């Protein structure tokens, strides 16, 4: 016996976009959601990941239909998720053990001259900068001169609207070339003067002064602070030595000092 369809019945609704976080309730103490996005083709997961630099899907920590802001970023950090806010999306930072070791060496060597000469402050991976209302980035290492800090004091807020002078990014296995290009674009567009992109695999550092002006140094050479940190000299052999065993010496000709 066949069933006659009811013309008054409501047709099933098929969502146009699949949200990977759909069905999961937000924490009880989470801040109120922002107004939903007007979803279009560009809001599909694959397109969003491409726009963010071709990152892996598991690094996206926000709902596609609900743009995130500083409050959502702070909530993610309190839950132990080290994310950046990029165009309203929460994106987990790619980081690894050896990358953290290299970043720690840069902090140590930078502080030797920055603190001694009272030039400013050096921050690590937990130091985030609000570059715009929808863009908060946390470089692996950053130097910010006193003149760029409000009233020449360390800001109390979690995400200060401050632009660092120097940014150091240590490339991780989870980073993509496009993602790193996007980082440089964001930093230079807001006024960062100098970017060091560190490649642990090649044991090299790309020194960027603009989106088109760069040079690559290997571990037999030294970084200098140029006009950003005058007098600074960092032998790259000393930096990458942290990846070696205790008995392996730096490359010849790299016994310099800060």
The tens digit of pLDDT for each residue in 13-51 reads 433 433 333 333 434 443 343 444 443 434 566 666 676
Domain span at 217: 97-243
Quick one: 108 and 171 in the same domain? yes
Residue 60 contacts residue 90 (beta carbons within 8 Å):
yes
**Among 9, 7, 63, 67, which Cα is nearest to 37's?**
67
CA-derived radius of gyration, the chain: 22
Q: How many domains does the chain fold into?
A: 2
Section 83-90 average pLDDT = 87
Quick one: 123 and 198 in the same domain? yes
In a domain, 250, yes or no: no
Classify 158 as helix, strand or coil: coil
**Among 92, 23, 35, which Cα is nearest to 68's?**
35
Quick one: 110 and 199 in the same domain? yes
Quick one: 154 and 199 in the same domain? yes
In a domain, 239, yes or no: yes
In a domain, 84, yes or no: yes
- Pairing label, strands 141-145, 120-123: antiparallel
CATH classification of the domain holding 139? 3.90.1570.10
Quick one: 86 and 153 in the same domain? no
Structure tokens at 112: 């030797």
pTM: 0.73
Quick one: 66 and 83 in the same domain? yes
In a domain, 33, yes or no: no
Quick one: 219 and 239 in the same domain? yes
Quick one: 67 and 162 in the same domain? no
- pLDDT of amino acid 252: 63
Section 191-196 average pLDDT = 98
Q: Is the pLDDT of residue 62 over 80?
A: no
Structure tokens at 231: 């007098």
Classify 211 as helix, strand or coil: coil
What is the spatial distance between Cα 243 and Cα 258, in angstroms, rounded to a whole number?
A: 19
Quick one: 64 and 139 in the same domain? no
Quick one: 77 and 154 in the same domain? no
Quick one: 109 and 236 in the same domain? yes
The tens digit of pLDDT for each residue in 153-189 reads 999 999 999 999 999 999 998 888 999 999 999 999 9
Residue 123 contacts residue 114 (beta carbons within 8 Å):
no
CA 242, 246, 251, 256: dihedral to nearest 10 degrees? 70
- pLDDT of amino acid 34: 40
- pLDDT of amino acid 29: 41
């Amino acid at each position: 016996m066949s069933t006659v369809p009811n013309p008054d019945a409501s047709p099933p609704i098929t969502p146009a976009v699949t949200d990977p976080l759909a069905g999961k309730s937000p924490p009880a103490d989470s801040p109120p959601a922002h107004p939903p996005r007007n979803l279009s083709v560009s809001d599909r997961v694959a397109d969003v990941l491409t726009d963010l630099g071709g990152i892996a899907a598991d690094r996206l920590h926000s709902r596609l239909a609900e743009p995130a802001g500083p409050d959502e970023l702070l909530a993610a950090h309190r839950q132990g998720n080290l994310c950046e806010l990029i165009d309203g999306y929460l994106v987990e930072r790619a980081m690894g053990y050896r990358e953290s070791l290299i970043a720690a060496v840069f902090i140590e060597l930078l502080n030797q001259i920055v603190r001694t000469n009272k030039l400013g402050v050096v921050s690590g991976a937990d130091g985030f900068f609000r570059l715009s209302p929808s863009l908060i980035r946390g470089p692996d290492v950053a130097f910010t001169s006193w003149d760029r800090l409000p009233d020449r004091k360390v800001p109390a807020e979690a995400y200060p609207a401050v632009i660092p002078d120097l940014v150091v990014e240590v490339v991780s296995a989870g980073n993509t070339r496009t993602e790193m290009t996007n980082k440089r674009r964001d930093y230079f567009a807001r006024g960062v003067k100098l970017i060091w992109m560190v490649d642990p695999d090649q044991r090299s550092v790309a020194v960027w002064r603009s989106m088109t002006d760069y040079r690559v140094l290997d571990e037999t050479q030294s970084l200098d602070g140029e006009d950003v940190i005058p007098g600074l000299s960092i032998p790259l052999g000393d930096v990458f030595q942290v990846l070696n065993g205790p008995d392996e010496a730096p490359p010849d000709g790299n016994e310099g000092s800060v």
